[in-house]
Amino acid sequence: MTSVLWFRRDLRLTDHPALLAAHDEGEVLPLVVLEPGQVADERPPARRLRRSLAALHGATGGALVVRVGDPVHLVPRVAEAVGAERVHITRDTTPQGRERDAAAADELSASDRELVTTGSPYAIGPGLVRTSEDTPYKVFTPFARAWRDHGWPEPAGRPDVEWRREADLLEGLGDDALPAVLAAADEEAVDGRAGEEAALERWRTFLDDDLADYGTARDRPDLDATSRMSVHLAHGEIHPRTMLADLAAHPDGGSEGLQRFVTELAWREFYADVLWHRPDSAWRDLRGALADLPYDEGPETDRLVTAWREGRTGYPFVDAGMRQLAAEGFMHNRVRMVAASFLTKDLHVWWPVGARHFLDHLLDGDLASNSHGWQWVAGTGTDAAPYFRVFNPVRQGERFDPDGAYVRRWVPELAHLPGATAHSPWDHDEGHAHGYPQRVVDHAEERREALDRYERTRA
């Protein structure tokens, strides 16, 4: 019997429960359905997705089917064409994904076919870690403790799949996007290789070379000491269970770096859990306490937001991060927090404006982590009393880029400034000699304004 495996953000063949479920039924037709805009989109996330799909096509021995269209209608038609009674998927826990999958299940059932959900992109599926009162966790620390206590299954193996090759039966079912996907395999990429093999190779390198120092070096964007696994996780090229199993077996199991890395994985799972229970928090404040907080709008604010997006705020640590995002589709997490704080607290702009810009450009864009990470900074999310947290972009730069190397890498107008002076060019006689812009706002004044707005809202 033939079944369809509908790939989404689970672009691998190892530790893939839905693939195992499909394999148990016989031949498997591997299917990807893209939205029309994803084929020609030249932004970093869309290009990265196409390269990952090209790697998956090779891993399936050329059997991968890639079509363009509305999956709610297209997937059932593909299943009918190949005589599949079941379509297997990994559970999508995002609000839009849940709606889409419910609609696809209804469409399939109309022709006596079934959408079978197995596994999720997380070590523990969102919604499964609950308090002793059987309620969702609202704060990270107790969630992380319960998450660790809950535990997760061992990684699944990699089956020897018999792939169904019946592309001729699918003529007329959506536009064939495979040529565009295969063309992406030859693209030069600043973010490294894509696909499951690349993910596993990068993971092994991190375990061998960088894990030991991760606890102390992870906040230093100048050192490039992070795992860079977030991109692979976002595309499902590796499952977090695989990573956790490797960490559990690692000889440095009690090290600060290893435990810190597990905590970072827990943050990813926590934010997914929050979004599962509160799908409205994807683009709205999780907590309503600051619903009346005033934000700036209008032409002048638009000008400032454009300067922020383009890395021309006059604050080097912020600008370096925004320029790295534009060039690589990546930004170090410490710099993400500083850039987000600048937009929300210095420019007084509501966080979804920045969150959408990040999702449009980040290769590791993840709705739950992105939206709730922004809310953590903005003060509207899971943190108990965070609005007083206003990152000083100069002090953050001096602390986490102490020699200014990260800034000089991404802001060449400041390459002539030595050491930490790159973080405050206005204090140097030649600081603006090569065209670096003046500061668009005064941080100290805007910090006071942000806190004043908060106090007025509370009152």
What are the pLDDT digits (tens) for 345-378? 999 999 999 999 999 999 999 999 999 999 999 9
User: Does 413 appear as a known binding residue?
Assistant: no
Structure tokens at 5: 């495996």
Q: By residue range, what is the domain housing residue 272?
A: 124-153+197-277
User: Does 364 appear as a known binding residue?
Assistant: yes
Helices in 24-70 by DSSP H: which ranges? Answer: 36-40, 44-59
User: Does 229 appear as a known binding residue?
Assistant: yes
For residue 229, what is the domain's CATH number?
Answer: 1.25.40.80
224 and 365 in one domain? no
User: Does 261 appear as a known binding residue?
Assistant: yes
Domain final position from 277, 312, 333 = 277
User: Does 391 appear as a known binding residue?
Assistant: no
User: Does 267 appear as a known binding residue?
Assistant: yes
Structure tokens at 354: 């920045």
In tens, the pLDDT along 425-458 reads: 999 999 999 999 999 999 999 999 999 999 998 8
In tens, the pLDDT along 265-288 reads: 999 999 999 999 999 999 999 988
Side chain identity, residue 370: N
- The pLDDT score that the predictor gives to residue 167 is 67
Number of DSSP helices (H) and strands (E) in the chain, helices first = 20, 6
307 and 261 in one domain? no
In tens, the pLDDT along 60-85 reads: 999 999 999 999 999 999 999 999 99
445 and 310 in one domain? yes
308 and 234 in one domain? no
User: Does 48 appear as a known binding residue?
Assistant: no
User: Does 265 appear as a known binding residue?
Assistant: yes
Q: How many CB atoms lie within 10 A of CB 453?
A: 19
User: Does 329 appear as a known binding residue?
Assistant: no
d(CA 90, CA 9): 8
For residue 429, what is the domain's CATH number?
Answer: 1.10.579.10
Query: Would 282 be classed as within a structural domain?
Result: no
317 and 246 in one domain? no
User: Does 228 appear as a known binding residue?
Assistant: yes
User: Does 424 appear as a known binding residue?
Assistant: no
d(CA 415, CA 434): 9
In tens, the pLDDT along 299-325 reads: 999 999 999 999 999 999 999 999 999
112 and 234 in one domain? no
User: Does 226 appear as a known binding residue?
Assistant: yes
For residue 74, what is the domain's CATH number?
Answer: 3.40.50.620
Task: Indicate if the pLDDT at residue 339 is higher than 90.
Answer: yes
Query: Would 395 be classed as within a structural domain?
Result: yes
Query: Would 145 be classed as within a structural domain?
Result: yes
User: Does 269 appear as a known binding residue?
Assistant: yes
Side chain identity, residue 170: L
- The pLDDT score that the predictor gives to residue 165 is 87
Query: Would 438 be classed as within a structural domain?
Result: yes
User: Does 414 appear as a known binding residue?
Assistant: no
330 and 244 in one domain? no
Q: Which residue in 361, 288, 452 sits closest to 42, CA to CA?
A: 361
User: Does 264 appear as a known binding residue?
Assistant: yes
Query: Would 212 be classed as within a structural domain?
Result: yes
138 and 62 in one domain? no
Q: How confident is the model at residue 190 (pLDDT cuts 50, 70, 90)?
A: low
User: Does 214 appear as a known binding residue?
Assistant: yes
In tens, the pLDDT along 221-263 reads: 999 889 999 999 999 999 999 999 999 999 876 788 999 999 9
User: Does 137 appear as a known binding residue?
Assistant: no
221 and 107 in one domain? no
Q: Which residue in 306, 308, 352, 348 sits closest to 331, CA to CA?
A: 308
The number of distinct structural domains making up the chain is 3
Contact 177, 74 (CB under 8 A): no
Query: Would 91 be classed as within a structural domain?
Result: yes
Please tell me what DSSP assigns to residue 130: B
User: Does 365 appear as a known binding residue?
Assistant: yes
In tens, the pLDDT along 378-389 reads: 999 997 667 788
270 and 147 in one domain? yes
Side chain identity, residue 232: H
93 and 73 in one domain? yes
Query: Would 287 be classed as within a structural domain?
Result: no
146 and 74 in one domain? no
3-class SS of residue 378: helix
**Longest alpha-carbon distance in the chain:** 75
Q: Supply the pTM of this predicted model.
A: 0.94
Query: Would 160 be classed as within a structural domain?
Result: no
36 Cβ contact partners less than 8 Å away, ≥ 6 residues apart = 68, 69
